[in-house]
Structure 1
């Protein structure tokens, strides 16, 4: 509901990533419907979440909230995992697109990193 993933600007900003990953546009899916489809739900949170290595391998749905407010508290509470991007001291926050990109990268590569 927040972005058209196939708009020219979004594709350009994605640098080709659209064609290297599965993208499912399903704005009305609930977390339970995602689980029925075999996906673990991972809520991105500013603090208090786990690192990517703690999230088991397998398909995931990464949930990213707005820059101003993040995800609604009930969505965070209902997610299987809460993931926090480690931030150096003094960095307050990232914009939603950057946070989503980092989450996609580190969570998507968690099985390769654990194998070395």
Structure 2
């Protein structure tokens, strides 16, 4: 079974993204911010990371940049999900190491399409 990590400071959003990924047969773990997610990545392998951008402690940009430095995570898909919707935000996300950039709200059809694109 594929494993995913959902990173978001909102419990409601985390639970929603967990339910979407479980529908697609992922085993899912969660983290509230980039720092917590980074620690989990050091201890566990994940096949996908779904991460918010605006979070306390460590935001999604910094997390993506930091995680890409780990050999085991050089090619793992990182989908940054946010309410930010400018071209500058999109560029910053991709430059930080994100595989994809998605504007909230995410739904099942969008997530399925994204996963097909990164498979």
Based on CA coordinates, which of the two structures has the bigger radius of gyration? 1
TM-score, normalised with respect to structure 2:
0.39
Greater RCO (Cα-Cα under 8 Å, separation 6 or more) = 1
TM-score, normalised with respect to structure 1:
0.39
Instruction: From the two aligned structures, give the one with the greater helix fraction.
Output: 2
